Amino acid sequence: MCLSVISQAGHIVTFTKARVHLNNFERVRKCANPWNRAFRTSLRMMVDAGEMEKRGSILDVLPDKNEDGEYTSGGLKSEGGKLSCGYSSFRGKRATMEDFYDIKMSKIDGQTVCLFGIFDGHGGSRAAEYLKEHLFENLVKHPLFITDTKLAISESYQQTDADFLASERDTYRDDGSTASTAVLVGNHLYVANVGDSRTIISKAGRAIPLSEDHKPNRSDERKRIESAGGVVMWAGTWRVGGVLAMSRAFGNRMLKQFVVAEPEIQDQEVDEEFEFIVLASDGLWDVVPNEVAVEVAQTEEQPEAAARKLTAVAFCRGSADNITCIVVKFHHDKAEPASEHRV
């Protein structure tokens, strides 16, 4: 039996009912100022994998899951048990939530297809929410999605950007968003990114980035921007036109000539050495190196628990941004992964 799950910051479709669940977190201990106290305490913790293995209470820094977008998490698995994933999305210290995510699994032309995406908005949440609603929908409808997946991804990214800009042409807003997506078609993995969200894999215990952040100070990106008539300048960090701290994005109409939504795409065949994928917004990557993210995720059997722990570690390390991550685990030649915790 299949079930569709919808939450404020993302939606999930076509999953087996047995694995869709939302676990409750333990409430933060009551004290005069619980957030500051938890944060100060956690900063004194070592956040390497071994230390966190001994300190399950690191998750106490996160609030209960709720409906107002402050925090949500969940876990699920594909039919057949070859793949399971978990997600965690936390507003953190920000007053508003601009991170969105999307997860889809289905069969297309006889192929098992899984799609995972992180969308980190800036200047507002409209662009990120639009991507959550439309990017994968556009991709799976592309006539070459199965036969030429890389071309389909590239064209769907750019078409979705054009559609978003058209939908906002009568507004005064000029927000934008990143996108980091992982698409599995059978045993072939395609990772695409626009902006500074990131996707890594753990392969034979090693952290391997499958995307490179689009920053204005990247030599190739700076050359592209300046060739288009733009300028990269220092304003607290390197920025396009002194405004935007990333060199590619969806939206951002005023900078569109320079800040494109053309993705960089890497593809790999999934083999026995693939252990898991981590996709996350820069609220995680700004404070958690790739290698540490792999070490943290390795301490948890279930991907939801791994995603929750990564979120908590990023917050404890001082992340001032929204924090959203997805962990996808592969179960090679296993009939069934260990059962998820249920309440």
Query: Running along the chain, 343 residues long, what does each successive block of 10 average in pLDDT?
Result: 38 38 32 34 35 48 65 89 95 96 92 96 97 98 97 99 95 93 97 98 96 97 98 97 97 97 97 97 98 98 97 97 98 57 34
DSSP class of residue 77? E
Cβ neighbours of residue 7 closer than 8 Å, sequence gap 6 or more: 72, 74
Structure tokens given for 264 = 């960089």
Distance CA 313, CA 307 (A): 10
87: which strand partners? 74, 326
Dig out the tokens for 235 from the structure: 């304003």
Over residues 27-79, the pLDDT tens digits come to 333 333 333 333 333 333 333 444 443 444 555 666 666 656 689 999 988 87
Whether the full predicted model's pTM is greater than 0.95, yes or no, is: no
**DSSP E strand stretches across the chain:** 2-7, 10-16, 71-77, 83-90, 99-108, 111-122, 176-177, 179-185, 188-194, 198-203, 206-209, 232-234, 238-240, 250-251, 264-269, 274-280, 323-330
Q: Please report, for residues 116, 231, 232, the alpha-carbon distance to residue 243 in angstroms, rounded to integers and kept in the order given.
A: 29, 10, 9
Phi (first) and psi of residue 172, to 5 degrees: -100, 0
Nearest to 268 by CA among 142, 325, 183: 183
Domains and CATH numbers, the chain: 2-22+42-213+263-330 (3.60.40.10)
Helix residue ranges per DSSP H, the chain: 34-43, 49-54, 126-141, 149-167, 219-227, 282-285, 290-298, 303-316
User: How do residues 156-181 score in pLDDT, each as one tens digit?
Assistant: 999 999 999 999 988 888 999 999 99
Phi, psi dihedrals of residue 53, rounded to the nearest 5°: -60, -30
One-letter amino acid at 35 equals: W
